[in-house]
Each structure stands twice: as structure tokens, then as C-alpha cells.
């Protein structure tokens, strides 16, 4: 299943989802799907990729192992980042009143599908 189909499946399966991306740790998106073309998902991911790097440093320094998931709940959106492998992570962006639990579940369940495509 292509990346784009997996992203669509997660976004359409999550009430209130704005979009989803597969992003490299450098912040550059590999694939993106958005329900609203006016939302600039790419600029968000650049900022959060650097945040993920810093959280990873903290996890390693505390000897907790690799960071697998990070969630940021802000006033205007919930951003979930799930590590796929050493170089890529999956991002799901949801409206604040969206279904966080369903989004998190679909995000986690889609990781094996995405890894098959790498």
C-alpha cells in the first residue's frame, strides 16, 4: 500500500484530523496528505523535527532508550509524532476537538504498513 493511501486512511479515520505526513529527521516531508490545502503542514513539521531531536537527546541521556512517540497538545491543534525508524517519523495533526484516542490508535496501527514501504 503506497504511503499516500496509508496517510489518507489515518486522516479519514480520525475525526477532526487536518493532515498527516511522513517526515525525515531533517524536517523534510517525504509524503503529505491534507484535508485542507490552506494548512501549511510542512512548516509545522520543520519545527517539531528539531523538538523531536532534543527529546531524543534527553531520552538517551536519561538512559530511557529511543523516543517512540511525542504528543503536543496546543491551543489550535494536537500534533502526534510517531517514530518509524532511525530516520523518519509519522506526524498526525488533529483539531483540538478531534478524536485524539482514535488518531493515536490509527497512528500506531499504521506503522507496520508504512515500514513495509521503506
pLDDT in tens, 20-36: 999 988 888 888 998 88
pTM of the complete model: 0.88
pLDDT in tens, 46-78: 777 788 888 888 888 888 988 889 998 989 889
Cα angle, residue 69 at apex, residues 99 and 46 outer, rounded to 5°: 90
Q: How many domains does the chain have?
A: 1
Task: Quickly state the pLDDT bin for 107 (edges 50, 70, 90).
Answer: very high
In this model, does residue 44 exceed pLDDT 80? Answer: no
CATH number for 49: 3.30.450.30
pLDDT at 36 (0 to 100): 81
Share of the chain above pLDDT 90, in %: 42
Residue 99 belongs to domain spanning: 3-117
Integer Cα distance of 51 and 61 in angstroms: 15
Amino acid at each position: 500500500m503506497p504511503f499516500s493511501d496509508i496517510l489518507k486512511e489515518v486522516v479519514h479515520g480520525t475525526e477532526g484530523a487536518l493532515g498527516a505526513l511522513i517526515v525525515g529527521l531533517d524536517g523534510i516531508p517525504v509524503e503529505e496528505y491534507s484535508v485542507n490545502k490552506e494548512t501549511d503542514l510542512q512548516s509545522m513539521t520543520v519545527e517539531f523535527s528539531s523538538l523531536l531531536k532534543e527529546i531524543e537527546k534527553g531520552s538517551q541521556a536519561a538512559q530511557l532508550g529511543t523516543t517512540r512517540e511525542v504528543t503536543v497538545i496546543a491551543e489550535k491543534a494536537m500534533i502526534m509524532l510517531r517514530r518509524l525508524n532511525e530516520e523518519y517519523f509519522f506526524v498526525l495533526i488533529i483539531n483540538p476537538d478531534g478524536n485524539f484516542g482514535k488518531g493515536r490508535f490509527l497512528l500506531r496501527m499504521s506503522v507496520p504498513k508504512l515500514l513495509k514501504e521503506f
